[in-house]
Amino acid sequence: MHKKLDRQPFVDAYLIHKKPYLEKKVMAYLFTETHGLVATMTHWSTAKKNHLSVFSLLACQLLVKPNISQLKKVEIKTFHPPLQGTHLFGGLYINELIYRFCETNQAHPELYYLYAQTIQALTHKEPLDQTIRLFEFRLQELLGYGLNFECLSETNCDWFYFEPERGLLPSLSSQKRLIHRHQLEKMFEQQFDDPHTQAASKKVFAILAKHLLGQNHLFIKKILPKSTKSKSSRKNVQDIQTNIPA
């Protein structure tokens, strides 16, 4: 078994989530290009404590299995400076989206590259709302819930609403005036620099998230409003990640 594990090649990965397991082990969820989200178990050595960090590109030696894989070795391949302030919570938010929405051991190469690009944008302190809305929008597409923008050419209606199982629908009632045509046109062009478009896109993704997660609300949403307005916004990343429900 050990010889087989030693022969495994190193793969690029990002740490999405980790939590203690028994006394000297840890469960680490890694996002890779070739295997998607991988649930791994490893002994919590000093070297792994130093290298197994969020938002940096890691090189990991894995023995991938159907349920729980083994993480033999991990090194930091490309170090990214720690995210700070609201950009830190933006990073934790997209990590939780990957953790909640992705099935393990299913490759998502497009999503992997989207994640890498988003981490780069957060590291360089690109506009936060614009960065997050674009990630949500592309994630929604890759999950198979992309918006049916063809409805814009099928009706002259200016207002639309969204249902996860039916997509965008023209609104004939003032009670369902969720998104204006102009915002949908901007979303189609993936232009999220306008606050109104950001707000509309956020509403759509919130509806989808509620549909997919049910009562299992995103953990980061519970701590984000309070934490980003106080000194506690620099709370240790490990503490936050450990408390995300499995």
Contact call for residues 73 and 93 (beta carbons, < 8 A): no
Query: 163-166: long-range contacts (C-beta < 8 A, 24 or more apart)?
Result: 163/207, 164/207, 164/208, 164/211, 164/212, 165/211
CATH of domain 2-78: 2.40.50.140
Residues carrying CATH 1.20.1440.120, the chain = 85-242
pLDDT number for residue 44 = 86
* Predicted structure pTM score: 0.86
What is the secondary structure of 70-107 as a DSSP string?
EEEEEEEEE--PPP-HHHHHHHHHHHHHHHHHPPBT--
Q: How far is CA 56 from the centre of its chain?
A: 15
Kindly tell me if the per-residue pLDDT of 231 is higher than 80.
no
Two tokens, residue 159: 């207002």
According to DSSP, the residues that pair with 179 across neighbouring strands are 160
pLDDT number for residue 239 = 47
pLDDT number for residue 233 = 44
CA nearest neighbour of 18 among 241, 245, 204, 189? 241
pLDDT number for residue 48 = 85
Query: 233-238: long-range contacts (C-beta < 8 A, 24 or more apart)?
Result: 233/85, 233/86, 233/88, 233/89, 234/84, 234/85, 234/88, 237/54, 237/82, 237/88, 237/92, 238/18
Kindly tell me if the per-residue pLDDT of 140 is higher than 90.
yes
pLDDT digit string, tens, across residues 84-101: 999 999 999 999 999 999
Q: Is 8 helix (H, G, I), strand (E, B) or coil?
A: coil
CATH of domain 85-242: 1.20.1440.120
Best-predicted range by mean pLDDT (63-67, 128-132, 176-180, 218-222): 128-132
pLDDT number for residue 240 = 44
Kindly tell me if the per-residue pLDDT of 237 is higher than 70.
no
| Residue whose pair of structure tokens reads 């894989």 in the numeric block | 69
Residues carrying CATH 2.40.50.140, the chain = 2-78
